[in-house]
Structures are given as structure tokens and as C-alpha cells.
Structure 1
Amino acid sequence: MLCAGGAWAQDAPAPAASAAPAVAPTSEAPPAEIPFALPHAGFVRVPSAPTAWGGPRTGSEATLSDRVVSYRIQARLDPVKHTVDGQQQLTWRNRSDRPVSAVFLHLYLNAFEGEGSTFFTERRLLAAHGGSRGIAPVKKGEWGYIDLGNVEQDGAALKWRYVHPDGGPQTDHTVVRVDLAQPVPAGGSVTLDMNFHSQLPRVIIRTGYVGKFHMVGQWFPKIGVLELPGERGAAEPRWNVHEFHFNSEFYADFGEYDVRVTAPKDYLVAAVGEQQGDPTPEGNDLTWHFIQGDVHDFAWMAAPGYKTLDGEYTGPGSPRVKVRVVYPPEYEASAKPVLKASIDSLAYFSGTLGPYPYKTLTAVVPPFNASEAGGMEYPTFFTAESFVKVKPKTLDEYLLDFVTIHEFGHGYFYGLLASNEFEEPMLDEGLNEYWDDRMLRERGQKVYLTKPLLQFFGVEPPLDAFMLERMTGTLRHPSDPLGQNAWDRLSSADYGTVYSRTATAMHDLEERLGKEVTEKAFRQYYATWHFRHPGIGDLQATLAAVSGKPEVVAQVFDQYVYGTERIDDRVSDIVSEEVLPLAGTRVKDGHREELSSEDNDEAIEKQRDAWKKAHPDAKPGTGPFPWKTIVTVRRDASPVPQTLKVTFMDGSVETVRWDDDRRWARFAFVKPVKAASAELDPERKIYLDSNKLNDSRTVEANHAASNRWGADFAALLQGIYALLGTL
């Protein structure tokens, strides 16, 4: 642990749970010398400077990332009280060109101390307007918090106080300002020694305990990010240190973590990073030691009775990766699928984006009643789903694989690319969802929403992952731009569409740019921005430059990332009529003659009769006269390049492009045969279209859909009757 002067001492006693701060916190801080990021900051259109965050990492540097901070933490778990007492030595480097007289720390766990926090204030508002995780009631004794104790700089006690960068309630205690005894000079570093006491909540969201299981995240004082000019749109240095919002996640500098965790000897501990040898006995406890560099967060779990399943990944450019699944006995069936999906994910993401650079990957299967701890990501460490049985071609199988792939994928978009999840959640949740769906597509993995028995009777065909995304994306009336920040949202349900709408928008952009071009662009995005902190403008700039189609990329970003446009193109009508001779006067052999309607009709019938005799086996829709087909298409929302396919009675096809801004258009075709149908987007490339049912029309009524549903229902009834007959 840490002595008062900052020396590291493993045998120092843990701080008392009731340790008091050196100075009682006040309700508000005086103006900071360096301003905060704006309370409602969101997407950044402007690309970052080429030198932002130290410039692209070439691989020849001494460390993978430009390490800004290091943490040395000694933590002790009390499994009965569900508390963690810790001492921490934090060293931070001032990257700016000016002295820094105050630093800011996140105390994330205080989001769960009471209903007065920003987290709970927004939970009441947003959850009331749409479902969300993290909304279970908190009972007596189930709250969580973190008490910051003494903070010292070179032995001098420092003053600290709560601040509210986003103008949240005064009862929010998730950010503190620490006034330094001596400013940190430009390019210099400061080391702070502190102790803290964390009371874990019963799992509310991402972190907490259930029974003897402890998922310990957001548990230690964590320094904010000082952004510099040219980084994510900043014109001057600014502290990006937002309060802990209900829908928000995290943003932090890269650094090194050296963490020792002491827990009862019958507990298994798993954590971010590489375990340093076997745990060290201390009476009835064991101390586990983990080190990991070039990451920006640290989390761990501890529980008795847990089992492990180990595997390994080797691939070009990556070290040998030890893969471990940690699981409770009741969910043993989940362990092998999670291990396989984890190793498959390592291969896919390494092959399509860039090599996985770490030596470990740990997946935790939460126990019964701890689902709120599932589906959460940290660097080299994530939590998965939990199922007692995992049958093939079921929704359970799909969810277990998808959540594993999704949480691993965060290791790239949240972890290695280190996007600002406060202000630009699309860059993590959205892009990760898109890349997960691409992996599922490559796997040929489908979504089964019904039980196997119903599938047997043919009631439901499987869906691909992207189709499921468009079904859940509220494409008809999107409330917020995809690039909006995490907390300025109409509801939690609308925030949830960051996942599905981003995946759908990127799917459609891929269709316009091409699969290979899109993949090349994302490889470049990763190569340029991993171990840095890109903004949305950096993503757009990379896609535009690599694809060579900046106007296409700009249209998609303007409509969906920066705006709330939607697509709804439709076939309004289709008319196919014979081109018949017309009554009236005409000039023949230099003389004008008149053809009456009666004579014209008679001549037409004669031609029909003669043609039928000459073509006794003619197909419907053919005859002696050509057919003129007119298709009217309408645009009820934003323009998008469309393909119109017209199919004729003889099976022939005509296609035309509708690639302009007209609100409606008519296309005419003259053919020897009658038209059968017209269809927009025949290859089903435009998933953002909010209503695919109006994309096609037939010349004659088509009852295929109702017949299909009737047949499905009849098949189901027949199956039930057959089953009953065997009883």
C-alpha cells in the first residue's frame, strides 16, 4: 500500500472505512483555470489534427500507447459488507503547454449513492419514456458509493471538492476538483497519493454484488482527460470530465495499471491484464496481482466456487493470447460457446481491423440473478450472458454468441480506439454493433425468434443480423442524430437505437461504397487512430479519403449522423396497357382518310384472332400489339440512389436508376409483353428504408403473402393435431 509520503508498501494496513477527507467537501468549485468541455457537447464534425494525441502510433515506440497516467492500487475486498478499501498512487503527465493547478477525478460509484445523483435524476426521466437496463428498484442496504479520503502531493494534504461540469444537481458527487499544492508544469508530471472506501451496490448496472459474486467496476478515483487544441475539435485545452450520466459510459487516457486485490482464499479473482504469478497467501486471504499497460480502465470480479475454461489464440501480428472463461457451475453450458465465440472474435477483428495487441482475454459469465452485471466491457476483460442450456437454432444460442462478440468488439472500438463514449457513443456502441453484425454475416449465423417446434412447422424463417437491426431501429421517426451525446436523448429507448440505426446506416453505406472498400477504410481508421481518441469527423474523413467518394460519405453523415433524416421510397402505381391502333384521320397514299372507332375495333379484333391462331401456345400478357408500362415512384423522405426493377410476363426484366432529388418520377417501358410487377431496391441493399412493404407493386392482385400466412397457420394446426393424435 501507500505510505503518507507516497512510498509503496505492501504490508501497510488498509484505510479505515470511515476515513475522512483532509478538508470537508464543499458544494461547488471556483472557476477552473482550464475550462470544462461544454455540458451538451456532442458529435465533432472537424477532423482532429494529424499530431493529435501524439500522432499515429507506428509500432516502433517504446510503449503501445502514449501513456499519460499510471495507477498503483492496493485493494481489499470485504465480501460480507461488499466493500473495497483501497490506497492508490496516481501519476499524471501534463501534456499541455501551460501549468495545471487543479486536476479532476471521476468518482463514478457515487452515481449509486442516492436518488439525487445525475444518474438517478436522468433515470427517472428517461426510463419513464422507454425501457432500459439499470432501472430495477434499489432497496434498503443496496446503495453504493465511494468515499474519497486523504489526497496528498509530496506529503502535503490537498483540498478537494465536488464540482458539476454539466450543471447537474448539487447532490451529484461523481466529479471532484483537487487543488494542487504545486502546479504541474507544462510537460511535467504529478504524483498523488490517496485512499478511498467503495461500497458496492447490489448490481444496478455494470457493477455491484449479488450474493457472494462481486463485479467491481467504476470503483476507484479516476482522473479526467485534458484535451488539447486539435484534438476532437478543441481550440484550447479543456477538461473532458463529464458527470456520470444514466446512458453514458466512459472516456479516459491510456496508461498503466498495477493492481493488487486481496480477497478470501476460497475466492477466485479475475481482472483486466496479466496475472503476476500465483496469488500470495495472507492469513485467510490471498492477494492477486495484475499488471496491464496501454489500457484506460481496470475492473475485476471475485467470487467463490467459480470455474475456469482456458483456450488460446495465435494470429499474425498478435502475441500468443491466453483466453479464459470464468463461470459459475450453474452456467457450465455457456462456457464452451463463450470461449469459441471469443477466439473466433479475436481472429475476425484481428483480420479485418488490426491485430489484437494484448496477451490476455478474460470473459466472465455472471451467476444467477446477476444479469445486470452481464454484457459489459473493459480492456482485455468483459462479461457475457448466462444460459443453463444452449440449444442450436434458438434465440438463446444467438444471444450468447452475439453478446460475447459484442463485448469483445468493444475491446477495439471502446478499448483500442478509445472513443469518447460520453459525447460520441456512436463511435463505440454503433460502430461495434455494425462490425459485430458483419462477423455474424461472415459466420452465416442467423437469428431465430421462435421455438424450434414452430420452426419445424415452417412458421418463421431465420433472420440475418442486419435485418434484425433495421427492425429495431425506429427508422420511421428517429428522435436524435446518431452523433448526439449519450444523455441529451428523448428516452433510453431512443438512446438504444444508437446501436441499431448506426449498424443499419453503416450497412447501407457499405452497399454504396462496396464491401472491400469499406473494409479497407476501417482498417485505415484503426491503423491511424488506435491508441488515440478519434472523433466522428475523423471517421468521416477516413471513409471519404479511402473510398474516393466523399460526396456519398457526406450524404450519409449529413442525413443520419448529424441529422435525423429517414428514407421511404415507394412504388406508387404500375399500369401496363396495350399500344393499340387509334381511331381518327390519317394520311395514306397522299390522301387523308378516316378510321371510325367501330372500324378500328373490328380491325383490332381481326388481328387478335389471327395472332391467336398463329400462336396457340402463347403465354398470358403477349399478343399482336406491344405493351406500354408506366411505373410511378414516389419519395416521402430523404433521397437515396435507387434501382427500379420491372419484371414482365415472359420473365424478362428491365432496370433503371432513380438517382436524383425528384419527389416523384415516372418511367415508361414499351415491350412486346405486359408487365407483371415493379420493385424498388430489388437486391435489398437499402436497410434504412423505413417501410419495405411499399417497395413493390404488381399489375394484378397478388395474394402470395396472405396465402403464405394462411399456409403457415394451417401447417401449425396440422402439426398440433398430428401431435395430439399420437397421445
Structure 2
Amino acid sequence: MRAVSWAKHSALALCGLATVTVAAALVPTPSPSAAAVTAPATTTAVADIPFAAADAAAVSVPSAADAWGGPRSDDAPTLSDRVVSYTIKASLDPDKHRLKGQQQLTWRNRSAQPVRSVYLHLYLNAFRNEGSTFFSEQRNLGFDFRSDVQMKDDEWGWIDMTRVEQAGAKVAQTFVQPDNGPSTDMTVVRLDLPQAVEPGASTTLDIDFDAQLPRVIARTGYYGSFHLVGQWFPKIGVLELPGERGATAPRWNVHEFHLHSEFYADFGSYDVSMDVPSDYRVGATGEQQGQTVTANGRSQYRFVQHDVHDFAWTADKRFAEPLVGDWTGPGSPPVKIRVLYPPEYQASAAPALKATQDSLTYFSNTLGPYPYRTVTVVIPPYNATEAGGMEYPTFFTADSFAKVPARGMNEFLLDFVTIHEFGHGYFYGILASNEFEEPMLDEGLNEYWDQRMLRELDRGYVFAPEWMRKLGIAPKLGDFGLERIGAQLNEPTDGTGANSWGRYSSSAYGAVYSRTATVMRDLEAQLGKAATEKAFKEYYATWKFRHPSIADLRESLAVSTGRRDLVERAFAEQVYATRKLADRIDDLSSNEVLPLAGVRMQNGKQVTVGQEALDKTISARREAWEKANPKAKPGSGPFPWRTTVTVRREGAAVPQTLRVTFADGSHQTVKWDDTAAWKRFVFEGNSRAVSAQLDPDKLHYLDASKLDDSRTLEGDGSAARRWSADFAALFQAVQAFVVSL
């Protein structure tokens, strides 16, 4: 998901016990107005199965080998262990931006105990009123979301289940707040079933629902005739079992919809039919089944997709004729790509298609084959920016530009957003990590892999407006340069493994993108590019369709590379905690070791050597040496040289290399691999030192500043050039107002 700015939050307290605070059992009447909603009363009920903790974050214990049914073999009958299936029929009123839906939800109880209550997400209720967790965090904690588009009185969104039945019997609804959010939050509902679901058995819930889409301010909604329909249907939470993502007993993982959180769900099958006006074009998750049926000014579409954990769609009467492309790759089925775009952004369609094809090739080659037959790309219309940069299985929204000059900033941004949102199809989609609790595994790892792809493409983007180009100023970003700008290198506040809602600030949440990418780039530099890519291929092969945790990623990297020392140190310092890395050259000196004045023994006698006589001796030796060595380089001579380098450390201790280069072209390299706050290294030889460089191979991308990694004793413009590079990176970040995607 694309993010421009983020805000302050402290972790919410304890939950997941035997008792939970809930809202009174009721089915609320549709109420688009904030003022029309009153806070429901609260009661106390005993939960059969507790919630995941309200402050759950990075998992430290690896999952069991058979978690989620064990690794998916290539000959398995289905890609995933399908836990849930949805059959949904929805009708859109595009003038009121209203949905009416009928849904059959069939869920299988994977646990070894009967389940009497299940929990569903009603995500659209985040936009119901200012009492939701989403808006409460924005109001009370100073959080902000992307561009902070404000809602007007008639732009609220909500969802009501008007009928819920199990085998014809009415099911009671009760709103709950698993994260101890405000009692007015209605994004999670508990259903007490008339019939318990026995171990290994399944149950079907018949649900009617009404939904009002909000003005698109965050991830979903409408603007004009454009509709991005996401988080729009009642969606069951995840029942995690012992050995899965750190669980020691069954637990419901069903967090409230926080301002900065995204999603987590079981894999299953979706069969979705949409009824829309006949002049609207539709795009959706999955493959369209049969031909569009049109009658009485309405059209019916049906899309089906198996082995995914979410479903989204779009409808707009202004979409132009879709741009269609194909892609094939080893191990993947033939893929049909559709790009939906409004006329004003036609220039974005072809570059988005090309970036999608390139992404299919890169991700398939470096992680694993793409398993689906479709990709739908949506270019949002003017004034619907908040619909851009959002991901769903086989379906994503990109960025929108009226002009896309080759190698320019707009081309870079369009490529970057397209690559990023496609990449979610792997890290969010196929690997299906928990974006609530461990956003590092999705947003962070995806950002890292996107930058690797851009590094491989090396398209030579120029990060300057036209007037700068005319002046001959055309800065380029170095490897992961943009990520370093947003990675909180000087004042990190949260480990990359922190959850999405319990972070210090909005920018701290935004840093999960750039800081994770920088942490992983740092680790890659030490493990080696080839070893890192091999480890990620094995991680993907082992955990696809299985919901891995951070501990599972850590184990995959450690085992595959054989460098558990490096991997565990990186995770301890930067994932489970946060440590600034700031090593520097504090001082460099290099001086001749000259004869010394004073009293000394000479031929058994005590002799006093005065400074005047000593100076004459030194001068004579210099003259003789220069006559004998007329072509000698500056920095050499008849006397040895003593070079002293002092290094300082602020923050995490990492294995460092110090390289000293001398005037005769030689160099000496030493290791600094202890926890000392400083170290002094002394070198003696026949040549004066020219420079000293920490981290000469640029292994430590987390270092707060690379400018203080070197010292020189001669005039050198490299520092100025490095300043220019950092300024160029910052300039691009400001110009593009992109902290992360």
C-alpha cells in the first residue's frame, strides 16, 4: 500500500483473556450520518477461544513444521488449504454508492475443539463515524493517513448485516473490540452460533448485508462514478492453532481496523457476481466466468478465484477500452493482463502494462512462478488519489499521470508503484503474512524486493524537473538511496518487527517500508547477493500459502545461508529491537618518525643530541634520499611514518572493516569486531597515509551517515560528490512526496 505520512500511537493494552468487553447484541440500522450513531451498551461474555493479544507483534518462536498443513507440495490438489469459501451476489447503486449483498460463507473448523462463536471483520464500519478505532487513533493520537482527505457529512461509509442464519436459525450479533479500542468501534462482530462447529467440520452462514461506500479517503470508496470496492463484505477472522505464528493454544486473530493496519485472512475460494449499470466497466480479482449478461439497463458479471484470501473489484462508467496484454513464464499458467484507466490518464496505461509484465518476469524468476491466470491493473481517475497504490489478490491500483516522459520522475513513480503493488501479490498475497501484527513481512520485504528489481533493471531514471535538466543538473539515486532517506537512520524509534498500530508516530509506521528495505539490503551485503536470493527462494517455496511469521523468515535465512550469527544479530538489533548504527572515523593522522633530541647512549658513552644538530642531520638525510630517489612520490622519504586512526561507535556493534591507503598506492586492512565505543589503530611503514575508510565495501546501509566513514589527508572532492548524491535523493523524495509505497 502506498503511504505518504503516518502518525503517533502507543500500543494498546492486554486482550485475549477468557473475558472480553463487547457491545450489546444487535443489528444496527443503516446510518450514513455520524450523528445518527450512538454508542452501544456493553456487556461481558465468556469467549470459548481467546483473542490474539492486543499488542501482538514480531513472533520470536518459529512455527511448527506442520503449521498450516505443512509445506504445499507441487502435486497437491489445490494451491492452498482452503479454509473458507464465499459465494457473494452484490448489486451496486452508483448514484448512492450503495451495495446490497447476499453471501454464503462456508468455514471449516481446523481446531481440535468445538467452536461456538466465530468473529467477522466489518471493515467498512471504520468509516461509519468518528467513534471508530480508525478515526479515534487519528483524533486522539495525532495519527494521520496518507494525504488526510477529510470526509464531509454525506460521505461516511458503513456495513450492516441485516440477516445472519445458520441452517435457517437466526444468529446473534455482538460487536467486540479485541484490541481494547473504543466501545463505539464496530469493525469486528461476534456471531454466537446455534450449532457448534465440531472439529474438522464445516458450517455455512447465510448473510444479507447493506453497505455504503465512503468517499475514497483510505483504501476503498468512490469518487464521482469511480468505485473501488475493497473491504466490502463480512469476512471471517483467522483461527490460529498451536505452533502457528507463535500460538500455544487456539486463538482468534481478528484485530480491529486500525488507521495503519491492513489485513490477514484464511485462504479460500471466491465466487462473486456483481450487478451494475450497463454503461459501467468492471474489473475484479480472478477470472470472469462466461459472458457479461445485460438486460434492462443492468449488466451482471461473475468472477471466480480459488486459493486467495481476499476479493476486490472496481466499476466506473468513465473507464476507457481496457489495454490488454499477455505474459508467459516457466512454471506459470498463461497470464492475461488488463489495465483499466480513465481517458485523462491514457499515458499511464502502457507503462503500467510494461511494468506489470516486467514484474511478472522478475518475481517469478527470483521467488517462484506466478500461480494465477490474471492480473488486473487499475489507474484511478483524477481526484481519487487515495484509491491509488492498493493491493488485492490478482488485482491492484497503480498511480496516475497525464504525461509519462521517458526516464523522468513520473515514469519512475509509475514504475515504482506498479512494481510495488504487483509485488504485494507475492508477499501479501501468496505468502499471506499478518499485516496487522507483522507489516515488515509484507510492506517491508516487498519494498526491499522492489528495489532489487529496480537495481537489476537500471533504467537510468533522472530525478529532476525539466528546468534542472536544461541546466545540466541530472542527479541519479544510488543503490537503495531513496530507502535510506526514509529509514530513520539517525533516530530510529521502532524495531522493524513492530506491529502496524503500536508505533511511535506516523513516520515510524512509514519507516516499516524503508527501514526494512535498508535492514535487508544491509544483511544482503554481508551474506552475499546470491546467497540471499537463494534463501528467499527457499523461504517462498516453504511458506507459500501458509502465513509465515518473522521467526519463520529468520530461520529460513539462517538455515539457507549457514550464517546464523549474522542473521540472528541483525534480527536481534533491528527487527525485535531498534539500534542506531553510527560508526565513524574520528581522527586520522600520519607523521614521520624522526630522530629524537635528548640524552642517549652512544658507543658506551652518554651523549647529548641537541635540536640544532638533529635538524642538520635530518636535512642531510633528506637531501641524500631525494638525490637517490628523484622520482619518488610525495609521502615517502628516508624516515618511517606512523599513522594513527581513531574510530568511534554510537549504537549497535557490527563487524567493521577499516582500510588505510598510503601514498605509495599500498593499503592495509584491519577488522573491528567488538563492542567497544572506540578503537585506535596504529600503522608504521615507509609511506604517509592518504586516507582511511570504514566499511570500504559498503556493507552497512543502516549507517546513519556515510559521509563520516572516511577521512583524507589530501584534497578530495568525493565528500562533495557524496553530499550531492544525498541531496539528490532528498530532492527526489520531496518532489515525489513519497516516503514509501
- 587-596 vs 577-586, which deviates more? 587-596
- Contact 1:646–1:655 at 8 Å: present in 2 too? yes
Tell me whether 421-430 or 599-608 shows the greater mean CA deviation.
599-608
Q: In the alignment, is the contact (CA less than 8 A) between 1:27 and 1:162 conserved in 2?
A: no
> Mapping of 1:252-267 within 5 angstroms?
252-267=265-280
Which of 101, 106, 131 is the matching residue for 2:116?
Answer: 101
Matched, 1:70 2:82: no
Does residue 92 in structure 1 map to residue 107 in structure 2?
A: yes
1:170 aligned onto 2:180: no
Check if 1:370 corresponds to 2:388: no
Distance 2:563 2:704 in 1: 25
CA–CA distance in structure 2, aligned partners of residues 136 and 514 of structure 1: 43
Work out whether 1:228 is the aligned partner of 2:250.
no
State the shift of 1:589 in Å: 4.6
Q: How does 1:477-516 map to 2 (within 5 A)?
A: 477-516=491-530
Counterpart of 1:273? 286
Q: Which amino acid aligns with 2:651?
A: A
Q: Which has the higher contact order (CA 8 A, sep 6+)?
A: 2
Within the candidate set 451, 458, 461, 1:444 is matched to 458
Listed one character per residue, the Cα deviations across residues 360-395 of structure 1 (whole Å, up to 9, x for unaligned) are: 111100000011000000000000000000012322
Post-superposition offset of 1:405:
0.4
Distance 1:389 1:106 in 2: 40
Selected match of 2:571 from 528, 546, 557: 557
Moved more, 534-543 or 29-38: 29-38
Deviation at 1:461, TM superposition (A): 2.3
Aligned partner (choices 575, 578, 581) of residue 592 of structure 2: 578
Deviation at 1:446, TM superposition (A): 5.0
**Which residue identity lines up with residue 424 of structure 2 in the other structure?**
H
Match of 1:655, SS? Answer: strand
Q: Does 1:599 align with 2:613?
A: yes
CA distance in 2, matches of 1:315, 1:562: 37
Question: Structure 1 residue 581: deviation in Å?
Answer: 1.8
Displacement of 1:473: 1.0
1:188-215 Cα offsets, whole Å, 9 max, x none, are 0000001001100110111000100000
In structure 2, the residue matched to 1:652 is 666
Offset of residue 671 of structure 1? 2.6
User: Any idea what SS the aligned residue of 1:103 has?
Assistant: strand
List per-residue Cα deviations over 1:590-621 (Å, max 9, x = no partner).
Answer: 55544333222211011112222333443322
Counterpart in the other structure of 2:34: none
223, 227, 232: which one pairs with 1:219? 232
Name the aligned partner's letter for residue 174 of structure 2: R
Letter in 1 for 2:93: D
Instruction: Return the offset for 1:450.
Output: 1.9
Give the structure 1 partner of residue 5 of structure 2: none
Q: Which residue of 1 aligns with 2:158?
A: 145
From 224, 228, 242, the equivalent of 2:255 is 242
Q: Could you tell which deviates more after superposition, 357-366 or 134-143?
A: 134-143
The counterpart of 1:44, out of the listed 52, 59, 62, is 59
Partner of 2:281, secondary structure, is strand
- Is the Cα contact below 8 Å between 2:283 and 2:314 reproduced in 1? yes
Could you say if the C-alpha distance between residues 67 and 26 of structure 1 is closer, same or farther in structure 2, counting changes exceeding 3 Å?
farther
Structure 2 contact 437–499 (Cα < 8 Å) conserved: yes
C-alpha distance in structure 2 between counterparts of 1:678 and 1:101, whole Å: 68
Partner amino acid, structure 2, of 1:105:
L
Q: Is there any run of 5+ residues in structure 2 with no aligned partner, and where?
A: 1-27, 32-38, 728-741
Determine the structure 2 residue equivalent to 1:12. none
Separation in structure 2 between the aligned mates of residue 668 and residue 458 of structure 1, nearest angstrom:
44
Q: Is the 8 A contact 2:407 2:459 kept in 1?
A: no
**1:199 pairs with one of 200, 208, 212:** 212
Q: Which residue of 2 aligns with 1:6?
A: none
Aligned with 2:322: secondary structure?
Answer: strand
Corresponding letter in the other structure for 2:363: F
1:523 paired to 2:537: yes
Q: What is the CA–CA distance in structure 1 between the aligned matches of 2:207 and 2:128, rounded to whole Å?
A: 21
- Aligned with residue 422 of structure 2, among 392, 408, 414: 408
**Equivalent residue number for residue 619 of structure 1:** 633
State the distance in 1 between where 2:287 and 2:718 align.
Answer: 59
Aligned partner letter, 1:341? A
Contact 2:226 2:318 in 1 (8 A): no
Deviation at 1:26? Answer: 5.9
- State the secondary structure of the residue aligned to 1:651: coil
Decide which of 270, 292, 296 is 1:283's aligned counterpart: 296
Residues 709/471 of structure 1: CA separation in 2 closer, same or farther (3 Å cut): closer
Greater Cα offset, 264-273 or 599-608? 599-608
- Return the offset for 1:691: 1.6
Q: In structure 2, what residue type is equivalent to 1:658?
A: W
Q: Give the conservation status (yes or no) of the 8 Å contact 1:29–1:162.
A: no
Check the 8 A contact 1:215/1:373 in 2, yes or no: yes
Mapped partners of 2:383, 2:186: distance in 1: 29
Q: Is the 8 A contact 1:455 1:461 kept in 2?
A: no
Give 1:13's aligned residue.
Answer: none
Pair 1:121-2:109 in alignment:
no
Aligned partner of residue 183 in structure 2, secondary structure: coil
Alpha carbons 2:217, 2:386 under 8 Å: kept: yes
Helix, strand or coil: the match of 2:270?
A: strand
1:31, CA displacement in angstroms?
2.1
The two structures have a TM-score, normalised by structure 2, of: 0.90
Structure 2 SS opposite 1:269:
strand
Distance 1:373 1:116, change over 3 A: same
For 1:123 and 1:200, the matched residues in 2 are separated by 20
The SS at the match of 1:111 is helix
Instruction: Give me the whole-angstrom Cα distance separating, in 2, the residues matched to 1:704 and 1:535.
Output: 42
Structure 1 contact 28–163 (Cα < 8 Å) conserved: no
Counterpart of 1:30 in 2: which secondary structure? strand
Matched residue of 2:79: which SS? coil
1:8 matched to which residue of 2? none
TM-score (norm 1): 0.92
Using the TM superposition, name which of 311-320 and 663-672 deviates more. Answer: 663-672
Distance in 1 between the 2:479 and 2:425 partners?
21
Deviations 1:414-452 (A, max 9, x none): 000000001000010000000000000111145543214
1:417 pairs, out of 398, 408, 431, with: 431
Alignment deviations for residues 16-58 of structure 1 (CA, whole Å, 9 cap, x no partner): 9969xxxx98645612110011111111000000011011000
Does structure 2 conserve the Cα–Cα contact (< 8 Å) formed by 1:90 and 1:193? yes
CA distance in 1, matches of 2:59, 2:43: 29
1:588 Cα deviation from its structure 2 partner: 4.6
1:383 correspondence with 2:382: no
Q: Which amino acid aligns with 1:502?
A: T
* Structure 1 residue 706, shift from structure 2 partner: 5.8
Q: Is the 8 A contact 1:271 1:298 kept in 2?
A: yes
Q: State the secondary structure of the residue aligned to 2:493.
A: coil
Task: Give the one of 299, 316, 329 matched to 2:312.
Answer: 299
Give the one of 693, 696, 708 matched to 1:682.
Answer: 696
String of CA shifts for 1:459-509, please: whole Å, max 9, x gaps.
352003511101111111111111111100111111000000000000010
1:80 matched to 2:69? The reply is no
Question: Does the CA-based 8 Å contact 2:145-2:218 persist in structure 1?
Answer: no
Amino acid at match of 2:384: A
Is it true that 1:360 corresponds to 2:374 in the alignment? yes
Aligned-partner SS, 2:156: coil
| Residue 31 to residue 381, structure 1, CA distance change in 2 (3 Å) | same
Match of 1:639 in 2: 653
Question: AA paired with 2:573?
Answer: Q
SS, match of residue 666 in structure 1: strand
Structure 2 vs 1, CA of residues 476 and 155 (structure 1 numbering), >3 Å: closer, same or farther? same
Other structure's SS at 1:607 match: helix
Change (3 A) 1:219 1:347: same
Q: Who is 2:170 aligned against?
A: 157
Q: Secondary structure in 1 aligned to 2:391?
A: strand
